[in-house]
Chain A
Amino acid sequence: MGHKMTDNSYDLSKRDFLQAIGMIGGSAAMYTAMTGLNMAQASSLEEPPELSSEGKGKKLLLLGAGLSGLAIALEMQKKGYKCEIIEARDHEGGRCQSARKGKVIQELGGEKQVCNFEHGQYLNIGPWRIPAEHKAVIHYCRELDVELQPMINESGYGIFYNQGIEGALKGKRLRQVDVAIDREGNIEELLAKAVNDGSLDDKLSAEDKEGLLEYLATTGLLDRKELFYRANRARTYENYPGTGLDAGKMSEPYEISELLKVKLGMRAQTADHPAVMFQAKGGMDQIPFTMSKALKRGTIKYNREVTNIIHSEDNVKVTYKDLKSGREKTLTADYCITTIPFSVLNGIDNNFSPELKDAMKSASSSPAYKIGLQFDRRFWEEDDMIYGGESRSDIPDHYTTSYPSADLYGKNGGVVLSNYKFGGGSVQLSNNTVAERIEHALMIGEKLHPGNYRKHFNGNAISMSWHKDKYSLGGASSYRSNRLRRKHIPTVLKGEKRMLFSGGGISPYHSAWMTGAIEGAWATIADLDKRVAQT
């Protein structure tokens, strides 16, 4: 398959990436203008759609055993469809993978990595967190008894490290809570002063001014009488209070002009990135594994790489190569739903309409990189009181370092997601050798946890570049602009004849989320149901 990615697919703008992960909000007007489009799913779906048709043995061929393929098969089997899933990998789950002992990762043009984490240790190299509002994911976890546990997405004790600023805070490990509280405290103090000196008289009634000052006096950050910001109990302590007469010592806020130089963590967490999220106990891949077990035996055919898709008014013919035997075989089905990422599908021979081909090619595939290192001691907990959450820095090609939420206080160390980077820098990182990748992660970690990071690294690491994964060719698929979204999504949603398109790629507003794959699957089966009813 000659699907070498063009450079275009790498250069998604920062704004698109932020949007893809839900970090930019607010322009509701722009979006509501789009509501004229049909085929929208009801929001915050909690359950799969009610299907009116009966499969009666109709043959449904599914391409890809990722979350959307699995969800479609689960629901359609219930309705009497004869489902078969063709999967190129030797496991189900698609991008929903966890690396644990024995896991082999072979990136295109890369070294073969074999994960050597100790037993019980793992890294979610794909999806890693579920917000409570993603009810579609929680639906399957509840229905199939996948145990969820809190994923601590934010820890006040996590670190901000700024090497690219000038001044007193350059190169210092700042606690996230201290930065956040100082920002709040200074803002409150300045606003209180502005209220008191009459600067807001034209904007606020006397009553609102009074109400505002009352509120500012109750946040605990300002001196209650004079309303100036000062050391407080929301910040970390220099010395924590103890017993007897030990009152502890509160820490001193940062100077405002120094604080304002810090650019990390400006934006508050979005509603779908709250402080506490969920993860599947033992690894996120437990979700697809459990879904797969709920399917009829033999539904998934592994190690079969699709090479050709021909659809007509009456049926769909899919040719695949058996990766074990090397033999090619063609299957015929009444309907076919492909969940193969557009970036990969573009490289498979097909007879889709030019409009569809164009729609799929117009989607951008985002590069994404994760590297996890195993440590023999949980120094981030024992020495730094960081329990879950993340640290961030402005070190080039570093986005976030996330600490494990499972096995807190464990005595067997743990795996830290040492760098998760998407967009531009992730491509450079993925061009490094495995040894260079580890060294880069250690370099970052040593700045966040000097003296501990290298010392406690036990030599076991795993990294994944999704844009170099043959069957993904990207971390997520999305449209770069609303114009492209408006133009192409309806085409993809419509599919053609007996051929439908599903997967996370058809949920641009949940791009890279598991709920995007599942809600996409639900949208597709609702549509299939309609088509079957009409035949």
Chain B
Amino acid sequence: MTDQNNNQISKRDFLATLGMIGGSAAVMTALSGFEHSLASDAKAPPMLHTHGNGKSVVILGAGMAGLVTALELSKKGYNCTILEARDYAGGRNSCSRKGTKVTHATGETHTCDFDNGQYLNHGAWRIPGQHHSTLHYARSLDVPLEVMLNHSSQSYLYADNIEGPLNNQRVRRIHVESDRKGHVAELLAKCAAGGALDEMLEKEDVEKLLTYLKGMGLINAETFEYQANSIRGFSSYKGGGDNYGTLSEPYALNDLLNMNMAGRELTSDHPTCMFQAVGGMDQIAFALRDALPHGVLNLNKEVTRIRHSGSGVTVNYKDTKTGAAAQAKADFCVSTIPYAVVTGIENNFNDDIIDAMKTPAPSQVAKFGLQMKTRFWETEDMIYGGTSTTSMAGNIAYPSADLHGKDGGVLLASYLFGGRSNNFSKMNINEKIEYALATGEHIHPGNYRENFNGKAAGIIWQDEKYNKSGWSSWQGDSIKKLPVILKGENRMLFAGDCISPRLSGWLAGAIEGAWLTIAELDKRAAQI
């Protein structure tokens, strides 16, 4: 894929990837004839029937999928070896905290200087309650989780490209949400009362609908006009004594309709409250690492060549510290290396596999955090967690940990996709900081620059040598090529979130992908 194409993944595609747009199930169900899949909603690793009896497995990559594969196969007596190019375990499940080094596309190696205790989940950052597989390891390995606030009704939307008075204004999400519901309720109530729905609904249902519309608490029960209400909230809050406060005035319909952002944000897998690991998401990876038998994990080993045959696999690698070359031989190999990377390593995979690996679109994703001296978004704006969204420069996500803390906190100040993240990639560190500050100053004027303490860090995933993308996006019919990868070849299997198109970029995708792969390896091992 050319850079040109990489830059032009449409907004819709990214939204779809993020679960922001519903409804592409039809495509997926059309494919349900395929054989390779685990039961949905998997809660625990598959039962393996074989015992390893010392059979050897070399696992490429110590991300979540590699760690899970090694942990489960080790339990069954397989002799596992993980080769990991980086100097830490976790892959994209990693954090920026004091001392984290990231080499940017500009050539700068930036060392994170956040204060002690401060961190940014610059990779995986949220777990929905329905991802039982992720919760399985957090629970079984005693990784404390805490609430990750994915949505704050007080956070802001900011558009700089719309008509009308809301352009270049920060507007509270709750105001937009309530006003949309309120205006819709008003219009529909008027239709219902005026007989316009009589052809669509039973008479009795029209009445019930009207009762419901009035019951929402947004419209006047007699005139059906949408009006100020206690759901939208107050412009001046009520208080002690006889102070009732003042309800805020809704936006006019035509102004509101110009605000074309955030049509839907909450989906089944992006609810208001999600979860995160206390102290950083990488604690889950570290717990998996620490549960492995001694010697399984080998860091700083960059794979240079993969040859598989009917009887085994040979992997050549280079020690990135010493430069020394070495070779690992095993009965089986599970590669969890991202497609964009593994296809650049010398291998003897068949053409169909290579073709399939080049099918999903690699996503471009940047995450960049700024440390702030005070939590002004909480004290002044009543924003606790959640995200403010701009039309021009991505999202700002507020920390869910240490709410009300007195030591400030790290904001995910720039969460950028696609071409925007590629432009960000080209900036030097100071320019990146300036870009993030300029964005935030729109949302929190007077506070953002003022409270920035000079400490920043982040990552651009497409620039990472060992990732080359945020995740793989299997779009449309491309998923038809996935079975080739799921099948693997001889003693060579593939895992990682890239084999989980519907959970791509999620921890659950990596974990359940690993579970699927070890179930497959179990079958093959039974045949030898």
Contact = CB atoms under 8 A, between A and B. Distances in A.
Interface of A: 22-26, 28, 31-32, 34-35, 37, 39-45, 132-133, 138, 141-142, 148-150, 152, 154-157, 177, 183-184, 187-188, 190-191, 193-194, 197, 199-200, 203-205, 207-208, 211-212, 214-215, 217-221, 223-224, 230-237, 239-250, 256-257, 260-261, 263, 266-272, 274-276, 278, 381, 385, 387-388, 405, 408-409, 411, 485-486, 489-490, 493, 506-510, 516, 519-523
A32 B236 CA distance: 12
A276 B385 contact: yes
Nearest to A175: B268
Contacts of B268: 177, 233-237, 240
A507 B240 CA distance: 5
8 contacts: A43-B234, A156-B271, A183-B212, A191-B188, A223-B23, A256-B201, A274-B154, A276-B147
B403 A214 contact: no
Interface residues of B, number: 115
Nearest to B23: A232
A305 B294 CA distance: 67
Given A245-B31, A409-B138, A194 B260 contact: no
Contacts of A28: 227-228, 246-247
Given A150-B273, A271-B232, A523 B240 contact: yes
B19 interface: yes
Contacts of B236: 43-44
A183 B385 CA distance: 27
Given A25-B247, A247-B32, A133 B237 contact: yes
A221 B197 CA distance: 20
A421 B512 CA distance: 43
Nearest to B191: A194
B243 A268 contact: no
B241 A43 contact: no
Given A239-B40, A260-B208, A275-B151, A155 B245 contact: no
Contact of B241 (A22, A271, A523): A523
Contact of A45 (B31, B240, B269): B240
B41 A519 contact: no
B181 A243 contact: no
B231 to A, nearest CB: 5
A247 B502 contact: yes
Interface in B227-255: 227-234, 236-247, 253-254
B254 A205 contact: yes
Contacts of B382: 132-133
B23 A233 contact: yes
Interface string B362-394: 000000000000000010001011000000000
B185 interface: yes
Nearest to B197: A190
Contacts of B204: 257
B212 A260 contact: yes
B93 interface: no
Contacts of B227: 26, 28
Interface string B217-231: 110100000011111
A22 B230 contact: yes
Would you call the interface of chain B mostly helix, strand, loop, or mixed?
Answer: loop
Interface centre among B145, B217, B238, B384 (most CB of A within 10 A): B238
Contact of B130 (A235, A271, A385, A411): A385
Nearest to A276: B149
Contact of B502 (A184, A246, A274, A489): A246
Contacts, number: 360
A247 to B, nearest CB: 3
Interface stretch (B312-320, B462-470, B479-487): B479-487
A421 B190 CA distance: 35
Contacts of A193: 200
B446 interface: no
Contacts of B20: 220
B147 A408 contact: yes
Contact of B273 (A208, A240, A275, A486): A275
B321 interface: no
Given A246-B40, A249-B29, A519 B499 contact: no
Given A40-B243, A243-B509, 14 more contacts: A23-B217, A25-B229, A26-B230, A35-B244, A42-B239, A155-B273, A190-B191, A190-B200, A235-B268, A243-B38, A248-B502, A266-B212, A385-B129, A509-B243
Given A243-B509, A245-B34, A275-B273, A150 B40 contact: no
Contact of B185 (A187, A271, A274): A187
A508 B239 CA distance: 9
A187 B229 CA distance: 20
Contacts of B209: 187, 190, 260
Contacts of B28: 241, 245, 247-248
Contacts of B240: 41, 45, 506-507, 510, 516, 519-523
A174 to B, nearest CB: 15
Contact of A270 (B212, B230, B400): B230
Contacts of A508: 242
A423 to B, nearest CB: 18
Interface string B160-178: 0000000000000010001
Contact of A148 (B154, B191, B403): B403
A113 to B, nearest CB: 31
A198 to B, nearest CB: 9
A521 B145 CA distance: 38
Interface in B438-471: none
B266 A37 contact: no
A239 to B, nearest CB: 4
Given A39-B241, A271-B231, A194 B187 contact: yes
B381 to A, nearest CB: 10
A523 B415 CA distance: 44
Contacts of B503: 241-243
B78 interface: no
Nearest to B482: A245
B245 A245 contact: no
A261 B208 contact: yes
B386 to A, nearest CB: 9
A45 to B, nearest CB: 6
A268 B180 CA distance: 13
Contacts of A250: 25
A387 B29 contact: no
B516 interface: yes
Given A246-B37, A260-B209, A37 B242 contact: yes
Given A133-B382, A245-B37, A260-B208, A138 B404 contact: yes
Given A25-B247, A220-B20, A247 B254 contact: no
B139 interface: yes
Given A26-B230, A220-B264, A247-B28, A230 B23 contact: yes
Nearest to B513: A243
B41 A242 contact: yes
A211 B254 contact: yes
Contact of A245 (B42, B202, B253, B483): B483
Interface in B249-281: 253-254, 257-258, 260, 263-264, 266-269, 271-273, 275
Contacts of A25: 217, 228-231, 247
B196 interface: yes
Given A233-B19, A271-B230, A388-B273, A194 B197 contact: yes
B319 to A, nearest CB: 33
A242 B254 contact: no
Contact of B237 (A43, A275, A387): A43
A45 B36 contact: no
Given A190-B188, A234-B266, A26 B237 contact: no
B215 interface: yes
Contact of A519 (B32, B188, B239, B253): B239
Contacts of A23: 217, 230
